[in-house]
Amino acid sequence: MKALESMHTTPNSSIKVAVLKLYSALALCGSAAMNLIENGEALLQMMVQCMDRSNPHSVQVEGFRLAQCLVRNEETCLKVMNFCCEPFVKAIMCGISQQRSLSGKAADDQVSFLEEACCLVLITRWAGEHHIYFWKQGIDGVLLGLLSKDFHKNSYQEFVSLEQKISIAQEILSANYLLVLRGYVWDILGWLATNCGEDFNPKILRNELYLDILITCTCLAFVDAISKWHQVCQNDVVETFKSVSASRAVLMMIYSPSKYIASRARAILSEILKPNGKEYLIHILGLTCYCGLPQYRRRLIKSKVIETLLVLVKCCLDNDIHIKRQSFPPHLQNTFHDKSCCWLCTEEWEGGDTPLLYSLWGLAELMHNSGSVRNNLNIFAGEMTYTETELVSKLQEICIHTSSPGLRWYAAYVLSYFGVYGFPSKLGKRIGKALNEKEYADMQLILTKGQSLSVHGVVFAVRCSALLPPKGLPINEKTFDDSSIKDFTEKVHGEFQKEIRLSAHVDHDALMKLLEYVYLGYAQAGEELVKKLKTLAKRCNLQPLLQLLCRKHPKWSTPFPSSDLSLALGPAGFQFSDIILEAKVTELMCWTCSFCPLSDPHIHVHKVILSSSCDYMRALFQSGMKESHVGTIKVPVSWEALVKLVNWFYSNELLSPPSGCLWDYMETEEKLCKLRPYVELCWLAEFWFLEDLKEDCLNVTVSCLDSARPLSIKIIQIAADFSLWKLAEVAANYIAPFYRQLHDSGELEALDDMLVNMVRVASVRLSQEGGSNSR
C-alpha cells in the first residue's frame, strides 16, 4: 500500500490509470473498501483530483469508477463525505457538465463517461450534507442540461405561465436528447425531492424555472408512461423501465417533505391530466400518485378504490407476490459491481414487495381523506378482502417479520387508522410481558392524585429517557417548573430506588398508553385518548409515535424505528443493572470491565430483560433457591458465546460471523474458533428453551459448513460432545461425499466410532439416492 501511495502524485497518466484500477479492484471487496476509506485520506484526495476535468479522459473515467466502488452503500458513502464532501460533489458536477460542450451526436466514450458520472449522483438516495452542495452546484440546471442541449441557450421571461412550461417541457422531451440518461435523471430528481427539507426553496439558490421545467418534464413522462402501460409488449421492456423511473420520481415529488416541490408537482401533474386523466388509471404506481392529488382522490374514494386496494393487499399476501425494483432497471445494473464481495448492502427502503408497498401507500392516503374507515365496515364484508381483525393481524405481521423499512412503515401507518399506534416487533412482544409487573421494578411514576405505576428504569432509559431525571441531579431537587411534565425525588429507604412525580397535566389513561408503547412498541387507543397521548408523546420527544398519532405519512428512506435495547448494556443502563452474567474463563484471556473491578469476563445485565426473554431465567429468579438471590450467574459458555447471547436478549439479533473474503481466507482452526460459540449457544438455547435462538444458531452453523466443508469433521465431534444430534447429522451429510477418501487417509480416526458410523450411513444413503462418493 505504501508503494501505491508513493504513486499518487505521479504526473504520468498511464501510471495513474493503473493505480486507480488497482484501487478499484481492491475496493470490490467491501472490507477492503472500508479499510481504504478509514486509512486513506490521501487516497480520497488523489481520487477527487483525478475526477477533475483537467485530467486526461482515461484518468477521469477511472477516478469516477473508483469513487463508485467506495460509495456503494450508505455507510461508506457518508464516511467519504466526511472526508471530502464539497470537492467530491464539485468534481461530479463538473463531470456531468462536460456534456454541454458536446456538438452533434455525442461520442460513445463521452456518453459512457456521463453514465459513470450519473451513477455517482445516485448517492442522493441517502440523506446527508452532500445534498446541500449538489443544490449549490446547480444540480437542477445540470439535470436539465441532460434532457436538452439547447435549453441554457434560450432566454425566458421572468414569469413563465404553467401552460408555457408544459409546452417547453414537451419540446425538450420530443428532442430525444441523450435518451440513455433519462432513467438516471428521473431517479436523481426523485431522490433530491425526497431528501429536501420542508422549507426548501429554489429561489434562494438559483432560478426556480429550472426546477419547474424538470418537474414538468417528469410529469409529462409519467403521463405518457401510464397512457401506454396497457399497450406494453415484450419489445417495449426497456422503455417500460424508464417510465417506471419517471413514475417513481413523480411519486416521490408528490409526497416530498418540501412544500414547494410537493405543491408544484401536484399542480403541474393535475394540469397535465386535465384532458383525460381518468383514462390512465390502470397501474398501481400510477394509482398511488393519483391518491396524492386532491381532485382525483375524491373520485377514487367514490369509485370504491379502497375496497380494490384491500383486495390487492390480500392478493399480494396470500399469493406471496414479490417484485423488487432494483433487480430489473437496466440503468441500475452495474457489471463492475457484480464482481464484488463482502459488501453488506442493506435492503432498499421500498424492498422486494413493491406491489404491496404501493397498495398500502395508496390505501393509507385514501383512508386519511375518507373519514373513519372503522365506521364503514362494508369495505371488509366481501369475500375478496380480509376482515378488519385479519387485516390488523396481517399488518402487524408485516411489521414484525418483514425486513423492508418502507413496507413496515406503511403497515404501521395503515394500522394507525385502526387505532394501533407504533411499531410491533418480536422483541417488543417479549419485553411487553413486563408491562404492569412489579417484579424487578425500580421506579414509580406518581400522579398528582396519588396514583402510582411501577416501571423498570432500564426500559425507560432506552425507550423514553425524557421521563428520567437528568444525571447528577441532587436528591429532592426539582427538575422542571410546575407547568412541566415531572419532577424527581429519590427515596432514602423503601421498595423503590426512585420516584418520578408527574405534573397535574398528565392524564392517567394517556400515561398507561404511553407505557404500553414503551414496553410493547405500540399502543391501542381511541380517538379521544389520542389527543392526550399526542401531548405526552411530544413532551417525551417520542417523534416516531407522534408521527403516527398525527398521521403524517412516512418519509422515504426513513429507517423503521428499532426496538433494540442494546444501549442498556452501556452507561445508560448500568445504573439499573441488578445481575451479572459471567462466562467461562479461558486461558490467557486478558479482560477488563468498563464499570467495575471484577476481573473475570462478565456483563452487567437486567433481570427484567432476561426474565421477559427466557422462561428458564424467569423460573430461576423466582425459584427461591440460592441462585435466585446471588448477584452473579455463571453461564457455561465462552465469553464470545456470552456476548452473542446477551446481544440476542437485548436486540433479538444474532451477531454474524465473518463472511466473504475474511471468511474464505481464514485457516480452518480460526474458522472453528469463530463458529464454536454458535454451537455452544445452540446447546445452551436447547437447555434454556430458547427455540428461536437455537434455530438461528443452527442456521448460522450450517451456512458456514456449506462454505467450508473441511470444518464438518471438527463440528461433528463438537456437536456430539454437546449432544446436538441434529447438527451432527447435518455435518455427517456434508462429510458423506468424501467418506471413502477420508476413511482411507485416516482422517476419520479422530472421531468416535459412533460418529464414523453416522458418516458411513450418510455415505451409503447418498449413494443409494444417486450421489457419488469422492475417491
Q: Write the pLDDT tens digit of every residue in 215-240.
A: 999 999 999 888 776 554 444 544 55
Residue 320, class by beta-carbon neighbours within 10 Å (0-12 exposed, 13-18 middle, 19+ buried)? exposed
Q: How far is CA 713 from CA 596, 641, 720, in A?
A: 41, 21, 11
Q: What is the mean pLDDT of residues 274-284?
A: 68
Confidence of residue 479 (pLDDT cuts 50, 70, 90): very low
How confident is the model at residue 630, as a pLDDT? 87
Residue 641 confidence class, pLDDT cut points 50, 70, 90 = very high
Residue 182 corresponds to which cell in the numbers above? 433519462
Smallest Cα–Cα separation from 701: which of 731, 670, 723? 731
What is d(CA 163, CA 161) in angstroms, rounded to the nearest whole number?
Answer: 5
Q: What is the mean pLDDT of residues 281-298?
A: 85
633: which strand partners? 581
Cell of 108: 460513445
Burial-class residue 307 by CB neighbours within 10 Å (0-12, 13-18, 19+): middle
What's the length of the chain? Answer: 775
Range scoring the smallest mean pLDDT among 368-382, 656-670, 711-725: 368-382
pLDDT at res. 490 = 40
- 655 vs 336, which has greater pLDDT? 655
Q: pLDDT at residue 720 above 60? A: yes
> Could you tell me the sign of the dihedral formed by the alpha carbons of 292, 297, 303, 309, in that order?
positive
Give the integer Cα–Cα distance in Å for 324 and 340. Answer: 20
Q: How far apart are CA 365 and CA 353, in angstroms?
A: 19
Report the pLDDT value the prediction gives residue 234, as an integer from 0 to 100: 42
Average pLDDT, integer, range 107-131: 90
pLDDT at 775: 39
Instruction: Using pLDDT thresholds of 50, 70 and 90, give the confidence band for residue 201.
Output: confident
Average pLDDT, the chain: 86
pLDDT of 172 > 80? The answer is yes
Query: What are the backbone dihedrals phi and psi of residue 488, each rounded to the nearest 5 degrees, phi first?
Result: -130, 135
Determine the pLDDT at residue 228: 74
Which residues on adjacent β-strands are paired with residue 581?
Answer: 603, 633
Determine which of 87-101, 401-415, 438-452 has the lowest per-residue pLDDT on average.
Answer: 87-101
Question: What local confidence, expressed as pLDDT, does residue 250 receive?
Answer: 96
Mean pLDDT of 93-104: 70
* Mean pLDDT in residue range 278-304: 82
Q: 586 — phi, psi (to 5°)?
A: -105, 155
pLDDT band per the 50, 70, 90 thresholds, residue 374: low
Is the pLDDT score of 351 beyond 90? no
Please, which pLDDT band fits residue 482 given cuts at 50, 70 and 90? very low
**What was the pLDDT predicted at 243?**
74
- pLDDT mean over 161-187: 93
At 329, the pLDDT band (50, 70, 90 cuts) reads low
Q: Identify the band that residue 8 occupies on the pLDDT scale cut at 50, 70 and 90.
A: low
Collapsed DSSP state (helix, strand, coil) of residue 453: strand
For residue 5, the model assigns a pLDDT of 67
Contact 32, 665 (CB under 8 A): no
Helix ranges, 157-207 (H): 162-174, 182-194
Judge whether residue 474 has pLDDT over 50: no
DSSP E strands in 37-145: the ranges are none
Query: With 70 as the cut, is the pLDDT of residue 539 above it?
Result: yes
Q: Over 60: is that where the pLDDT of 125 sits?
A: yes
Computed from CA positions of residues 699, 704, 707, 710, in that sequence, does the dihedral angle turn out positive or negative?
negative
Q: What is the pLDDT of residue 681?
A: 98
pLDDT at 702 over 90: yes
* Lowest-pLDDT range of 147-161, 246-260, 350-364, 510-524: 147-161
Per-residue pLDDT tens for 380-432?
Answer: 656 677 888 999 999 999 999 998 999 999 999 999 999 999 999 999 999 99
DSSP class of 258 = -
Q: What percent of the chain has pLDDT over 70?
A: 86
Give the residue-averaged pLDDT of 644-661.
Answer: 95
487 pLDDT more than 70: no
Q: Which residue has the higher pLDDT, 710 or 168?
A: 168
- Measure Cα distances from 354 to 174, 283, 348, 350, 404 in Å: 30, 12, 11, 6, 10
Q: At what angle do helices 108-121 and 182-194 cross, to 10 degrees?
A: 20
Who's near 746: CB < 8 A, 6+ residues apart? none
What's the mean pLDDT in 450-479? Answer: 75
pLDDT band, very low/low/confident/very high, at 369 (cuts 50, 70, 90):
confident
- Which has more confidence, 46 or 331? 46
Give the separation between CA 478 and CA 465, rounded to whole angstroms: 17
